[in-house]
Amino acid sequence: MTEIFLDTANTDEIRAVLPWGIASGVTTNQKIFFTSCKGVNFKQRVKEILSLVDGPLSVELTTSSGSDEDLINEAKEYASWGNNIVVKVPMWADGRGLRIINQLQRLGIKTNATCLMTVNQVLLASKAGATYVSIFFNRVKDSGADPVQVIKESRQIIDISGLKSKIIVGSIRKPEDLSQAAVAGAHILTIPHKILMQMPYHAKTEETIKEFDEAWAEFQKSQGCSD
């Protein structure tokens, strides 16, 4: 079954969507905090989100230029904020991300390998022990590759090899991206609020509802009339 996560750090958005009963987790990153949460206390906001959502909350490492020890310590700090914290670790070209994922896995800290664009990156992150592997749908497309094929092949490798990583698909720009990603085999779709709010709408649905409402109003007027 495909899960849905909310790709946001805005607590108003989270509170608005949770009553729908569709979301089982939240993903964030530095850009999300910068664009939607300027001025907030980072730790306080993360804990507020944890109080709202029962499922996993991904928080990304920010010390890209630090040593392995710096990165591990940053991850430990985030993990200490709550049991549902998942630490997002970028797929750095020098392999540091894989080292960090493997070490955190050994420490019992859940990880989300992020910024993945290729099947090979997914394979490496899964073998290193990542809890989640995040494929960036439209950024894959921007690079000239086919994100549907990347998702499909990644899912096949995970299933055939018996790996435990779950595929998260992000970088969603329109509702159609979601159905393509789900059919391709994504375990989880992480969706920005503005995209999610477009999903229930269809012009023909609205037209049909209006037609039924008008028919019911006319029916009520006709009640009591003799045959």
| Type of residue found at 129 | G
Q: Terminal CA-to-CA distance of the chain, rounded, Å?
A: 52
CA-CA distance, 26 to 38, in Å (whole number)? 18
Question: Which of these is catalytic: 76, 88, 166, 174?
Answer: 88
Q: Is 88 a catalytic residue?
A: yes
In this structure, what are the phi and psi dihedrals at residue 191, rounded to the nearest 5 degrees?
-120, 125
The tokens of 31 are what? 């850009």
- Helix 119-128 × helix 147-161 angle, to 10°: 30
Return d(Cα 59, Cα 50) in angstroms, integer. Answer: 11
Q: Cβ(85)–Cβ(79) under 8 Å?
A: yes
The DSSP annotation for 27-94 comes to E--HHHHHHH-TTS-HHHHHHHHHHH-SS-EEEE---TTS-HHHHHHHHHHHHTT-TTEEEEEE--TT
Hey, CA dihedral for 102, 107, 110, 114, is it positive or negative? negative
Residues labelled catalytic? 88
